[in-house]
C-alpha cells in the first residue's frame, strides 16, 4: 500500500464508532500513502498531504485486499489469509480504490472500528497515542521498563498488562498466554514484580521474556486458524488439563476488567 495513490474512497455509511471526519473522502482522494506503520492497536498511514489516516480495527474489523485474485485479511490479534469474496458484504463499510488497481475494503460487523484524519500536531497530542507505553517487541520494553510501570500498582498483574500505558498493544489473548509461560498468576498484584524502589525482580525478567516469546511465535504461525483454542496453551481452554509438562492443574477462567482471563491455578503463582 505504501507509495500507492488513493484514487477514490467509498463510504457506505456515515460512521463507524464515530462519524467520519469532515470532507473525509475529498481529503483522501489523490493522496499517496507515504508510510504505513503501527502504534499499539492503531494503524497509521502517512499521506502526501502530511495528514495521517489513523485507523483502529475495533473488536471485529478487518481489511480485505484484492489484487488480481489474491486477498489478505488482517483481523484482531492475528491475520487471516483467504480468497476474495464473490460479492460485497453488508459489513463492508469503507472501500479504498488505489491507482495500482488494488481495492482495500474495511469490513466491521460490530462497527467498533475507527478512522480519523490527523495533522502532525494533532497526532502528537492525541489523547491515546501520546500516553502509550513501549511496544512489546521493541528494545525499549525490558524488565526495567515493566517494573517501573508496575511499581506500586495494586491492580492484578493481568489488568496491568492490558493498560496501554504499561505496554502498548498487548492484547487479552497474549497477556494470558505470556503469564502462563512465565508461571505467574494473573491475580497477583502488579507491584510484586518490582522492588519498592521500582527495580525489576526475577518475575519481571521472566514476564518480559515470555511476552516477547509469545508474540514472536504468534507472528510466525499466524494463519486463518489463529483463533482456534488448539493454538493456545491456556486461552479458551477452560476445564481442560494444563499443557505444561508435569502439571496436573485444570485451566480456569475468570473475568478481570471485563475481559476473560484463562490460567492454571497450580503452576501459575
d(CA 257, CA 33): 37
d(CA 7, CA 4): 9
User: Are 61 and 75 contacting, i.e. CB atoms less than 8 angstroms apart?
Assistant: yes
Please say if the pLDDT value at position 226 is more than 70: no
CA-nearest of 172, 168, 177, 243 to 207 is: 177
Please say if the pLDDT value at position 135 is more than 80: yes
Taken in order of first residue, the domains within the chain and their CATH numbers are: 6-118 (3.20.190.10), 143-263 (1.10.8.50)
Dump pLDDT digits (tens) for 142-157. Answer: 999 999 999 999 999 9
Please say if the pLDDT value at position 164 is more than 60: yes
User: Are 193 and 150 contacting, i.e. CB atoms less than 8 angstroms apart?
Assistant: yes
List strands edge to edge, sheet with 92-98. Answer: 6-11, 92-98, 103-107, 62-67, 70-75, 78-82
Listed in sequence order, the residues at least 6 apart from 45 whose beta carbon sits closer than 8 Å to its beta carbon are 1, 33, 35, 36, 52, 53, 55
* Mean per-residue pLDDT, 113-128: 94
Q: Give the pLDDT of residue 219.
A: 86
Q: How confident is the model at residue 225 (pLDDT cuts 50, 70, 90)?
A: very low
Q: How confident is the model at residue 230 (pLDDT cuts 50, 70, 90)?
A: low
Mean pLDDT over the full length of the chain: 90
* Mean per-residue pLDDT, 100-124: 95
Q: Give the pLDDT of residue 231.
A: 82
Please say if the pLDDT value at position 81 is more than 80: no
Amino acid at each position: 500500500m505504501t507509495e500507492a495513490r488513493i484514487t477514490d474512497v467509498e463510504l457506505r455509511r456515515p460512521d463507524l464508532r464515530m462519524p467520519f471526519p469532515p470532507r473525509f473522502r475529498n481529503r483522501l482522494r489523490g493522496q499517496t500513502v507515504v508510510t504505513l506503520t503501527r502504534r499499539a492497536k492503531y494503524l497509521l498511514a502517512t499521506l502526501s498531504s502530511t495528514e495521517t489516516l489513523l485507523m483502529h480495527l475495533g473488536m471485529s474489523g478487518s481489511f480485505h485486499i484484492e489484487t488480481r485474485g489474491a486477498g489478505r485479511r488482517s483481523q484482531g490479534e492475528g491475520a487471516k489469509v483467504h480468497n476474495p469474496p464473490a460479492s460485497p458484504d453488508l459489513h463492508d463499510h469503507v472501500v479504498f480504490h488505489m491507482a495500482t488497481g488494488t481495492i482495500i475494503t474495511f469490513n466491521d460487523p460490530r462497527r467498533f472500528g475507527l478512522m480519523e484524519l490527523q495533522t502532525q500536531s494533532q497526532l502528537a497530542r492525541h489523547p491515546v497515542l501520546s500516553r502509550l507505553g513501549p511496544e512489546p517487541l521493541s528494545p525499549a520494553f525490558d524488565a526495567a521498563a515493566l517494573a517501573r510501570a508496575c511499581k506500586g500498582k495494586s491492580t492484578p498483574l493481568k489488568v496491568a498488562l492490558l493498560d496501554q500505558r504499561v505496554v502498548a498493544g498487548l492484547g487479552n489473548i497474549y497477556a494470558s498466554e505470556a503469564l502462563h509461560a512465565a508461571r505467574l498468576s494473573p491475580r497477583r498484584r502488579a507491584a510484586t514484580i518490582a522492588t519498592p524502589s521500582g527495580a525489576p525482580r526475577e518475575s519481571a525478567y521472566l514476564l518480559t521474556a515470555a511476552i516477547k516469546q509469545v508474540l514472536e511465535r504468534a507472528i510466525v504461525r499466524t494463519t486463518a486458524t489463529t483463533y482456534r483454542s488448539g493454538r493456545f496453551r491456556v486461552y479458551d481452554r477452560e476445564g481442560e488439563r494444563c499443557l505444561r509438562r508435569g502439571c496436573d492443574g485444570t485451566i480456569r477462567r475468570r473475568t478481570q476488567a471485563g475481559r476473560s482471563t484463562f490460567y492454571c491455578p497450580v503452576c501459575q503463582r
